[in-house]
Chain A
Amino acid sequence: MRRTAMLVAAGALTVSGCAQGSGGGTAEPLSSDDFAETATAEGPLTVMGFGTADDEIAQQRLQRAEEALGDTEVQLIEGELDMQQFLSSVASGDVPGIINADRAQIGTLASRGAVMPLTECLSQRGVDTSVFVESALAQVTFDGQVYGIPEFNTVQLTMANQELLDEAGLTVEDVNGSSWEDVTAATEQLFVEEGGRIEVIGYDSKLPEFLPLWVHANGGSMISDDGRTATLDSPEVVEALEWAVSIYDLQGGFGDVKAAREIPDFFGDTNQFATGVLGAMPMEQWYVNVLNEVSADAPMAFDTVYSRQGEPIAFANGAAWAIPVGSANPAAACTFATTMVETESWMAAAEARATAREEAGLQFTGLLTGNQEADRQIQDELVQPSGEENWDHAVEVLYAANDNTVAFPANPADAEFKQAWQDAVNRVLNGQQEPQEAMSQAQEEAQEALDERWAAWDEEQDG
């Protein structure tokens, strides 16, 4: 009997042991042949973190990429890239052919040897990297090497309810951020409270997520250009946080504003602008499309966000294609990614979107691709005035913001850096710390993580 039990246990251990996989980061070094178009494809190309459901932008580009790949079958693992799923696939040795990741994650993945440098891939496919939005390319360039191919660009615009502004005798210029004093004054004028309940949020400074925007507007930065030194306790950062929090304090505190802003149907026709319960806020440009679709009659006013020096600004992010180390088919992955982001693919996708919108009686509100050449062509050739001044202006300022973006540089501790500053902002919002104290703690935590990860990277490079 004991022998039987031993056999059962040994069998179980053997089976489970087989599932360990070899992990990433241990693949053979790349050669230029790995990306050659003549490289032998090994089975289908699995794409993780990308879907096409009801999205002509994705469908059109995927179609072109599949044509470029010829006989190589493309298998999509749809939905946003789930890091848990990706890491599981790496641990089990079943690495996807290519992933579509948040650009902010590229530095971390690159530093741990999870994704390949793509300099050779871009070179062999003749991709001119200068077509990419500069801040987007910087986000995927780690220690001098490009590890991701950018696609899409997300920027912020000032969005406001024109009727509420008119009633208060204000204009969108009063809430576009060019003067923080004006925004503060407008917040007080627009804010309405009755019986302890917020009826109208005057202005939402969108913390914690938009702190980097306000820091940039204040002429500061949260991390050095080389991604090695956090500057979270600099005067510009602390001042920006103090001001953004003061906007909430004017309206009863962050807790009340957060509770009030969670109620409206953000994506529906009873959104906060259509129902007149929000004066103004900065928001990503994709929301223009949502508003235009669900509440085209809402009294909207748009502008870029301005720095305190009066310059249009935006803090950009987006996606990027990256090829995991251990990908069975790097050449096909390279072809796939470069085809997905080439100007012709974006134009085909934008034409399909413009046609679909026209057929639905809706305005085509532009597309920010991360490819400047494509952006310009789309704006020049496909964006048509609708005759609705506010929506046409929205598209204009959207492209203006796209021309004035900054982003965090790639670094090996992005998740820890982000958690440090976001936790600090949240401690302030939750009333647990003052801005200076919170950002000093964040600086310590972020720098410790950056030092540790950069040291590991430098040691690996020296070794």
Chain B
Amino acid sequence: MAVGTGRAVPPSAAEEDPVAPPGRARRRRSRPESVRRGDLRPALLFLSPWIVGFLVFTAWPVGYTFYLSLTDYDVINDPSFVGLDNYRAVAQDDDARRAMANTIFYTAFQVPLYVVVSLGLAMLLNQAGRASGFFRTVFFLPNMTPPVATGVLLLFLFNGQNGLVNDVLGWVGIDGPNWTSDPTWVKPGLILMSLLSVGGSVIILLAALRNVPEELYDAARVDGAGFLRRTWSVTVPMISGSLLFVFIVNTIAALQSFTEAYTAFFGVGNTTYSNEAAEFYVIHVFRQAFEFLQMGYASALAWVLFVVIMGITAVQLYVSKRLVFYQGDQ
């Protein structure tokens, strides 16, 4: 049972066709390449709507934002080049550091919890039989809720005086905190609230679970493995590719958290009350851009976040090489 070894090694020509002579293998490898070359033009033609869209609506704005990050720009007047001044200002910006620390804290706790809850629910659904479809829909429904509504809902569910969360805690004798004003509890409240949207990840992991061959579980049972052992040694390795995907995508999403926290603590939920504990990095970027009209500086802040996300993702991918198993690598 070759699970959990992870590292993807390209198959050699001989592995492609063990009985073929070396020369034959080279010919067979080159033929598909020539076929692909011939298909390239029509393929690009079919892809062109996406390519043009990507260039116009993603690549160009990203590139232009980098240019703006080197300027003093208030949107109203023309940008003026200031070199790396904005990046130097970012390095000295205490508020940016605090916002980044908030974001890293949120990400460090939210993502693992999110993945664990997603996996737990997916495993339950995998055992649910006919009821699985109904519960899939139920779990996915909160994903259809606008994030702004989720932000407002947070203020009611986590209300320190009469919120449902504290009511439930009260049943077991716990005097719940003021989730929406105590700086210590603001981020935990946001983390718990984010679990409402696990539905998307649950669906992905459920699909992965259904692809795990039943024979592996049978073999493990014959070997005397219990539920936890089967989960750890069969389930997790076999769906590790999907887990990595969910982990990376949610890490990026967590690092870009904005709407729920902004709504609850800076936007429509509170026009004047705010809580620094909820000021995530993207909220800081947004406020610099659209409240203080410092679009050049905000662009520099955004590029710093881009680099941070790239770095974290690269580390995740590097570490995953030793941990993730892809079935195609067998």
Binding site for B on A (CB under 8 A): 1, 4-5, 8-9, 11-13, 15-17, 23-26, 83-84, 87, 90-91, 108-109, 112-114, 196-198, 208-209, 254-256, 258-260, 262-263, 415-416, 419, 422-423, 426-427, 429-432
Contacts and interface: CB of A to CB of B under 8 A. Distances in A.
B74 A258 contact: no
Contacts of A429: 181, 273
Interface residues of B, number: 43
B178 A9 contact: no
A258 B56 contact: no
Given A112-B293, A419-B291, A197 B75 contact: no
Contact of B60 (A12, A109, A415, A416): A12
Interface in B287-308: 287, 290-293
B78 interface: yes
B276 A427 contact: yes
A256 B160 contact: yes
Given A198-B161, A254-B181, 13 more contacts: A11-B52, A12-B60, A16-B60, A23-B76, A26-B78, A256-B160, A256-B178, A259-B161, A259-B163, A262-B155, A419-B287, A422-B272, A431-B182
A25 B156 CA distance: 44
Contact of A258 (B59, B61, B181): B181
Contact of B271 (A23, A24, A209): A209
Contacts of B160: 255-256, 258-259
B180 interface: yes
A8 B51 contact: yes
Interface string B148-181: 0000000110011111000000000001001011
B145 interface: no
Contacts of A91: 75
Query: Max chain A CB contacts within 10 Å: which of B61, B76, B290?
Result: B76
B5 interface: no
6 contacts: A23-B77, A255-B160, A255-B181, A256-B160, A258-B273, A263-B156
A24 B56 contact: no
Given A16-B56, A262-B155, A262-B159, A208 B273 contact: yes
Nearest to B78: A23
Contacts of B310: none
A431 B48 CA distance: 56
Interface string B54-98: 011101110010000000001111100000000000000000000
A416 B182 contact: no
B55 A12 contact: yes
Contacts of B76: 23-25, 87, 90, 109, 112-114
A427 B273 CA distance: 10
B274 interface: yes
B274 A426 contact: yes
The 9 closest A-B pairs by CB, nearest first: A255-B178, A12-B55, A259-B160, A259-B161, A255-B181, A25-B77, A16-B60, A209-B272, A87-B75
Contact of B52 (A8, A427, A431): A8
A91 B275 CA distance: 31
A20 to B, nearest CB: 8
A5 B292 CA distance: 40
B27 interface: no
Contact of A13 (B44, B60, B162, B275): B60
Contact of B77 (A15, A83, A84, A113): A113
Looking at B272, B277, B287, which has the most chain A CB atoms within 10 Å of its CB? B272
Given A4-B44, A209-B271, A12 B159 contact: no
Contacts of A198: 161
A5 B291 CA distance: 40
Contact of A87 (B276, B277, B293): B293
Contacts of A259: 159-163, 178, 180-181
B138 interface: no
A148 to B, nearest CB: 16
Contact of A263 (B44, B77, B162): B162
Nearest to B79: A23
A25 B162 CA distance: 50
B162 A197 contact: yes
Contacts of A419: 287, 291-292
Nearest to B158: A259
B74 to A, nearest CB: 6
B275 A196 contact: no
A108 B291 CA distance: 10
B60 A197 contact: no
B80 to A, nearest CB: 11
A315 B207 CA distance: 60
Contacts of B292: 415-416, 419
Nearest to B186: A430
Nearest to A11: B52
B183 A208 contact: no
B8 interface: no
Contacts of B52: 8, 11-12
B78 A83 contact: no
Contacts of B178: 255-256, 258-259
